[in-house]
Amino acid sequence: MVNKFDAIQALEPEAEFSIDGEELIWHSDSIQQPTEEAINQKMAEMDAEYENNEYARNRVGEYPSIGDQLDMIFHAGLGGDEFQAAIQAVKDAHPKPTTE
């Protein structure tokens, strides 16, 4: 899940800082250090975004690979003329060996 370091980086991506235990050590004099309230608010926003995208994380492992998806499109003839011709040209140039 989201931690203080992630939240600070999201708030001030150019800032240089370190965290020692619970202490934030700010090394960027030209960038205003975010308040603890701003950091906590950002952490809450990022946690909510993470939770709201659980469906996407769950889908990733279940989708066929991009290669398999493209192969399905090609074999179904759904890629459009240009797509179909491009794929067929590669297949023709490098035919699958026949097994006997």
pLDDT in tens, 49-85: 999 999 999 999 999 999 999 999 999 999 899 999 9
Alpha-carbon distances of 52 from 40, 75, 91, rounded to whole Å: 18, 35, 42
pTM for the complete prediction? 0.64
Enumerate the domain spans of the chain.
Answer: 4-60, 64-95
Instruction: Please enumerate in sequence order all residues whose Cβ is within 8 A of that of 8, keeping only pairs 6 or more positions apart, or say none.
Output: 15, 17, 24, 34, 39, 42
Q: Report whether pLDDT(100) > 90.
A: no
Greatest alpha-carbon span in the chain: 73
- Report residue 57 CA to chain centroid gap: 10
Rounded to an integer, the average pLDDT of 74-99 is 92
- According to DSSP, residue 31 is labeled S
